[in-house]
Every structure is written in C-alpha cells, then in structure tokens.
Amino acid sequence: MATESKRQQRFAGVIQQDLAEIFQREAHQWAPNAFITVTRVRVTPDLAIARVYLSFINTQTAKEDLEKIKAKSNEIRYKLGTRIKNNARIVPHLEFFLDDTNEYVEHMDKIFDQISKEPRQPDEED
C-alpha cells in the first residue's frame, strides 16, 4: 500500500478525533457496556472514503457490535459532517473494520508463555 500524503494523514487525524468524541458520547446506544476506541483511520487519496478501525474493550460481542455500528454508519456520517463541515468540502463515506490487534497480542503472549514453560532441550555439541 502506498504511503499516505500529509493531507490524507491530517484529514484522517481530524476524522479520528471527531469520531472518537462521537463514540465516547453516543456509543452506549449502539453497543451497550462496550468501550469503543477509534484506533486508526485511513483515508483514500481523494478523501472520499475513510476506513475506520475500531477496538472493542469490555465486550464479548465485538463482531455483533461492529455490525450494529455499520448499520448506523449513515447516522454517524451525518454527525461527523456537522463537526467537520467547516474543514472539509465533502464528508467521506465511512467503512468500519474491527481492529483485532489487542486479541492478536494476547494470543501471542499466550504462545510465548507456553514456550517459556516448556522444558529446555539440552544443546547438542559436536
């Protein structure tokens, strides 16, 4: 994937910050008991599409919660538009994805713990 331009990075940062505030205030309606973090936003070069990566904490139903958020994407886009209307000509289409980095890290930690608990094989010398 090509690197993002400064313009894309700046716009993605604005979107990430505003979406984080929206989720902080209103996510309890879409995903009760879940703490949602906007971990990353990637914007296409024409700034028309924003790929938003979400991390869910304190929930066992992250995939179902993500589907609920995808169903509300037009509402979320509208709320984002009211916040960035002075900074952008268009409000990008939002695509939501599950950021499973935390799950991956936990999985790798478990593997490393298992490896460290296994008895070591004696080194063979020639």
Give tens-digit pLDDT for 14-41: 999 999 999 888 887 877 777 888 999 9
Report DSSP state, residue 93.
E
- Give me the phi and psi of 61, to 5 degrees please: -115, 50
Which domains, and CATH codes, for the chain? 6-117 (3.30.300.20)
Mean pLDDT of 100-107: 71
pTM summary value: 0.76
Going by pLDDT thresholds of 50, 70 and 90, the confidence category of residue 63 is: confident
